[in-house]
Amino acid sequence: MAEKATGKHRADVQINVLESFELRSRRSIRESEKNRLSRAERRLAKKLAKEDAKFFAAQKAAQANGSAFVVPSAKPVAFHARRSVRNTITMSIAAGLFATFALPAYAYNPDVAARSRFTTTNAEVIASAQDTQNLTVAAVNTVRFARGKYESADAAEIARQEIVNNYRTYSGPTAEDFVANPPYSTLDGATILKVAASYVGTPYVFGGATPRGFDCSGYTAFVFAQFGIAMPHSVHGQARMGILIKPEDALPGDLVIMNDLSHDGIYAGNGNFYHAPRPGDTVKLAPIFTSNVHFVRLATN
């Protein structure tokens, strides 16, 4: 008959049983954690495999169709959706709200008013006080606005008035001044074109004869005055000066005159001439726009 275990043996058996149970519990926890991690890894691997399969299938289809396969780039984050931008906007709004809420607390604080030697917080009293700068407050209380009648101004008319005003204030030399004391003594085509080109961009002014504004005959008269040639401010009068030249013999510096005497300019060669075209335009180099012209060559005395 087997002997019964003593108290010490019973305690040893109980300890061994508890240790083995603890070991089994720890082992089962580790195994379950390992199984859980392995399941997550398997799900992730399966997801990646599906995405790869989809990607390569699309690439294979693109190659079969003969088109290049483009990998879509990551969608850029909008500027307003960036974290730094949102934080900055949030802080700015918060600071603005804080300042707005705090303003009434000290705008008319009695301590501040006392330090500023204000004896009241009434705006009307402050405005009427002699020791305060009351311009702003008084203006708010006294300015009255009356509805008037206004007419819209035409931009072209404003520009025309500005050109006319500039023309009237011209105080430089005139054509008569140049005729009396011409800066150029030799009348040659190159110099004539140089002087004519210097006034490109001058606005057209009807009856104008100064660098603030020219009409067609005023422009040619001002240019040739600098060579000592006095010309009438008229196409009709300028057409009777000099000698008539055949079109094939025309040279730069000759006058180009419309056959109906409606317009003239200075021939620049290659079918072009310098002229003051019409109101709203400026002196320019442009093609001769009609074949109904004749050429006049001027000469110094």
Q: Please check whether residue 282 is in contact with residue 215, taking contact to mean a CB–CB distance below 8 angstroms.
A: no
HSE-CB for 139 with a 13 A CA cutoff: 3
CA distances from 151 to 148, 154, 220 (A): 10, 10, 39
233 is catalytic: no
Strand boundaries in 147-263, DSSP class E: 209-210, 213-214, 243-245, 255-258
CA distances from 249 to 186, 188, 246 (A): 21, 15, 5
Question: Under 8 Å CB-to-CB from 267, ≥6 apart: which residues?
Answer: 250, 251, 252, 253, 254, 255, 256, 273, 295
9 is catalytic: no
Catalytic hit among 9, 233, 236, 275: 275
80 is catalytic: no
Q: Please check whether residue 71 is in contact with residue 81, taking contact to mean a CB–CB distance below 8 angstroms.
A: no
Q: Please check whether residue 187 is in contact with residue 300, taking contact to mean a CB–CB distance below 8 angstroms.
A: yes
Helix or strand or coil: residue 62? helix
Catalytic hit among 9, 233, 263, 294: 263
Between CA 136 and CA 124 the distance in angstroms is 11
Q: Which of the residues are catalytic?
A: 216, 263, 275
